[in-house]
């Protein structure tokens, strides 16, 4: 339902579902007697729209959906095989689903190496918009840089965070 509301707000900012703004509504070019679409200005959170724009179909800060930034943070920059890594994903909507998958230095992940029984998963954000994932780095994982790909329900592009896995006999 929230996705539909956000889509409707975006469509309203673009002049409606038809895209030409000629729906006869107040503030539209058709109502003003113009045949060309009027420009739409979107105010950023905390900013007010330029004078006269809010009545021309722009989204005012009070009507705009709150913009949050989703972040992913790893607890450790280096984790030995068989040891635990923790990741915090913050900025999600309450109840929003998030998932992650770790790709290791040789390009392997849980899909290409069935020995990996951790380093991937999903969960749901709590009321605070946070999801914590904890896993043990697989003992079969190769040394080098491991990249964690994080996706979430309303995300457009994944977040990538990474950590090091030391070679046998080395320490972090």
Of 9, 40, 65, the residue at which a domain comes to its end is 65
Q: In this predicted model, what pLDDT tens digit does every residue of 54-99 receive, in sequence order?
A: 333 332 232 223 446 999 999 999 999 999 999 999 999 999 999 9
Helix, strand, or coil (residue 165): strand
- Does the predicted TM-score (pTM) go above 0.75? no
Least confident of 32-36, 68-72, 113-117, 126-130: 32-36
122 phi and psi angles, rounded to 5 deg: -150, 170
Q: Is the pLDDT of residue 149 over 50?
A: yes
30 phi and psi angles, rounded to 5 deg: -65, -40
Measured distance CA(132)–CA(155) in Å, rounded: 17
Same domain, 90 and 158: yes
Residue 161 maps to a domain:
yes
Of 20, 49, 65, the residue at which a domain comes to its end is 65
Residue matched to tokens 């900012």: 13
Q: What's the mean pLDDT in 31-41?
A: 31
CA 28 to chain centre: 33
pLDDT at 156: 86
Residue 172 maps to a domain:
no
Q: What's the mean pLDDT in 115-140?
A: 96
Q: In this predicted model, what pLDDT tens digit does every residue of 43-57 receive, in sequence order?
A: 233 434 333 333 333
Q: What's the mean pLDDT in 122-144?
A: 97
- Count of domains observed in the chain: 2
CB–CB of 163/76 below 8 Å?
Answer: yes
Same domain, 84 and 144: yes
Q: Which domain holds residue 42?
A: 1-65
CB–CB of 141/81 below 8 Å?
Answer: yes
């Amino acid at each position: 339902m929230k996705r539909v509301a956000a889509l409707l707000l975006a469509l309203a900012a673009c002049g409606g579902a038809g895209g030409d703004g000629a729906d006869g509504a107040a503030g539209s070019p058709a109502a003003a007697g113009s045949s060309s679409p009027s420009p739409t200005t979107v105010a950023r959170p905390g900013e007010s729209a330029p004078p006269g724009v809010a009545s021309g179909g722009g989204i005012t800060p009070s009507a705009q959906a709150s913009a949050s930034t989703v972040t992913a943070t790893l607890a450790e920059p280096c984790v030995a095989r068989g040891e635990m890594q923790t990741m915090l994903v913050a900025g999600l909507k309450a109840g929003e689903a998030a998932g992650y998958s770790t790709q290791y230095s040789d390009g392997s992940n849980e899909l290409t190496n069935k020995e990996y029984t951790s380093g991937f998963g999903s969960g749901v954000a709590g009321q605070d918009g946070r999801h914590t994932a904890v896993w043990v780095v697989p003992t079969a994982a190769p040394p080098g840089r491991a990249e964690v790909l994080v996706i979430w329900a309303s995300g457009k592009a994944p977040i990538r965070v990474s950590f090091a896995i030391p070679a046998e006999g080395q320490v972090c």
